[in-house]
Amino acid sequence: MKDLIEKSIGLLKDLIKTPSFSKEEDITAEIIDNYIKSFGVETYRELNNVWAFNKFYDPLKPTILLNSHHDTVRPNIDYTRNPFLAEIIDGKLYGLGSNDAGGCLVSLISTFLHYYNQPNLKYNLVIAATAEEEILGLHGLEFVVPKLGALDFAIVGEPTQMHLAVAEKGLMVLECTASGKSGHAARNEGENAIYNAIEDILWFKTFEFPKQSEMFGPIKMSVTMINAGTQHNVVPSSCDFVVDVRITDAYTNEEVLDIIKAHTKCEIKPRSTRLRPSFISLDHPIVKAGINLGRTTYGSPTTSDQAVLKIPSLKLGPGNSARSHTADEFVYVNEIEEGVELYIKILDQLVL
C-alpha cells in the first residue's frame, strides 16, 4: 500500500502541474487514463472522463461507484504562489486543485487499484474520474453514469476530513421577472414593475416551508441579483431578479418550485431542476462502516456531483472543504495517506 500511496502523490503532482479548468481537462484526462493503464487496467474514456471496472467484474453483483473530479476553478486572485507549482513544504502539497479534489481523486484511484485484482469481492468496483464538476456541467459525471451499468451506491470524493457527509443540499437558481407598464415618472402613469417585484421579494424573504429537514433545518431562499429600469424618469415595465434556493432532503426540487409558483405573481424560470438534494440513510452499510471506525456524520451545505446521482451516495474524502477555492490551496500529504487507508478500511467491511 505504501508504494501505491507514493505513486498517487506523484500522480497528484502531475495533475497540479497541468491546468484543468472546467471544460479544458483533456490533458489531465490523458494523464489519469495513462496512469491507470500503467497498472494493467483496461480503461474507458469519453470526452474528458475516464473510468474503469475491477478485473473480476460480475454483472450479477452489486456495484460501488468511486468518483471524484479532476477539473478545477481558476486561481484565486490572492494567490502568492504559482498555482501550478506542485511543491511539498512542511508536509503540505501546494497547488491548484490539490485539496479540491485532487487528493480525493488520487486516493480513490489508489483504493480502486488496491482491489482491482482481488477475486471473489462481494461488490464490483468502478472508478470514474470525471470533468466539469466545478460548473456542474452536463458532460461530466451525469454524462458517464448511464455508461456504467447498474450502480448500488457511490462514494463521491470531496474534502470532508474523512468524515461522513451523509446529506447535501440541492440547488435551484430561479430567473424571476415581475411585469408592469411603463410611464412617465413625473405623472401618475404606468405600473411600476419594481414595486410588483418587491411584493414577491418580501415573500421569498419571509416564507417558511412547512417541512424541515432533520439534518439541515429549513430551506433557504436568497434574492441575490436585481435589475430594472432604463432611466430615472421612466417607470419600469419589468424587473428581473435572481433567487438562490438551497433545497433540503425534505422536498424535491419540483415540489419546491410548485410551492413558489403558487405563492408569487412574477414569471419564474428555473435555470435547472437537476441539482437535487441527497441523503443516505444512517443505517446504510457504508455509513455504518465509517461510524465503526470512529468517523462522524454531518450534512454538507455545498453542492457537488452528488446532485446528479439518483442512487444513495456518501461524500467522503481527505482534505478540508474550507481550503477549497482559496489562495495557496494545499492538501497535507498525510491526509492522502490517511484517505487511502480509511477508504480501504471502510470498504473492507463491505466487499471482503
User: Positive or negative, the Cα torsion across 292, 294, 297, 302?
Assistant: negative
Look at residue 187 and tell me whether its pLDDT is greater than 90: no
Helix residue spans in the chain (DSSP H): 2-16, 26-37, 103-116, 141-144, 193-206, 253-263, 285-292, 333-351
Structurally, at CATH architecture level, domain 1-168+277-349 sits in 3-Layer(aba) Sandwich (3.40)
Q: What pLDDT sits at residue 337?
A: 97
| Burial environment of residue 284 by CB neighbours within 10 A (0 to 12, 13 to 18, 19 or more) | middle
* Location of C-alpha cell 471473489: 120
Strands 297-300 and 164-168: parallel
Q: What is the pTM of this model?
A: 0.89
Q: Is the distance from CB of 102 to CB of 12 less than 8 angstroms?
A: yes
The cell for 34 is 495513462
pLDDT band at 105, cuts 50/70/90? very high
Look at residue 302 and tell me whether its pLDDT is greater than 90: no
**Element spanning 36, H or E:** helix 26-37
Q: What pLDDT sits at residue 78?
A: 95
Q: What pLDDT sits at residue 143?
A: 97
Q: What pLDDT sits at residue 84?
A: 98
CATH number of the structural domain 170-270:
3.30.70.360
Q: Is the distance from CB of 313 to CB of 280 less than 8 angstroms?
A: yes
- The residue extents of the domains of the chain are 1-168+277-349, 170-270
Q: What is the pLDDT of residues 219-228, one digit of tens each?
A: 999 999 999 9
The pLDDT of 144-160, averaged and rounded, is 97
pLDDT band at 315, cuts 50/70/90? very high
The pLDDT of 312-341, averaged and rounded, is 96
Phi, psi of 204 (to 5 degrees): -60, -35
Look at residue 285 and tell me whether its pLDDT is greater than 90: yes
